[in-house]
Structure 1
Amino acid sequence: MATVRPLRAAAAPAGPVAKPAVVPPAAAPAQAAKPPKPAGRVPPPRLPVAPPAAAKPRPNTLDGGWDKKLGRGIVIPDSSIDLHGHSLASAHALLDQGLERAIARGDRVLLLVTGKPPRPESERPHARGAIRAAIADWLAASRHADAIAAVRGAHPRHGGQGALYIVLRRR
Structure 2
Amino acid sequence: MSPPRGRRLLSDAEIEIWLRVVQSVAPRSGAVLPQRVSAPAKPEISVRPDAASKTAEKPRRATAGMPSYSPPTQAAKPAAPPLAPFEKRFRQKVTHGRIDIDGVIDLHGMTQAQAHAALIGFLRSSHGRGARLVLVVTGKGRSRLPLSSLFETEPGVLRRAVPHWLREPDLRSIVLGFEEAGVPHGGMGALYVRLRKR
TM-score class normalised by the smaller sequence: 0.5 to 0.7
Query: In the alignment, what sits opposite 1:132?
Result: 159
Superposition TM-score, scaled by structure 2 size: 0.51
Query: In the alignment, what sits opposite 2:185?
Result: 158
Superposition TM-score, scaled by structure 1 size: 0.59
The runs of 5 or more residues in structure 1 that have no matched partner are: 1-52
The runs of 5 or more residues in structure 2 that have no matched partner are: 1-76, 145-149
The one-letter amino acid paired with 1:60 is A
> Compared with structure 1, are the counterparts of its residues 81 and 93 closer, same or farther at alpha carbon in structure 2 (3 Å cutoff)?
same
Paired with 1:56 and 1:129, the residues of 2 have a C-alpha distance of 28
SS at match of 1:150: strand
Aligned length: 115
- 2:176/2:195 contact within 8 Å kept: yes
Paired with 1:145 and 1:136, the residues of 2 have a C-alpha distance of 12
Between 88-97 and 161-170, report the one with greater CA deviation. 161-170
Give the Å deviation of 1:65: 2.7
1:9-39 superposed Cα distances (whole Å, 9 cap, x missing partner)? xxxxxxxxxxxxxxxxxxxxxxxxxxxxxxx
Match of 2:123 among 83, 99, 109: 99
User: Matches of residues 1-171 of structure 1 in structure 2 within 5 Å?
Assistant: 54-55=78-79, 57-117=81-141, 127-141=154-168, 143-171=170-198
Q: Which has the higher contact order (CA 8 A, sep 6+)?
A: 1
The one-letter amino acid paired with 2:162 is I
Paired with 1:137 and 1:110, the residues of 2 have a C-alpha distance of 17
Query: In the alignment, what sits opposite 1:27?
Result: none
SS at match of 2:135: strand
The one-letter amino acid paired with 2:179 is R
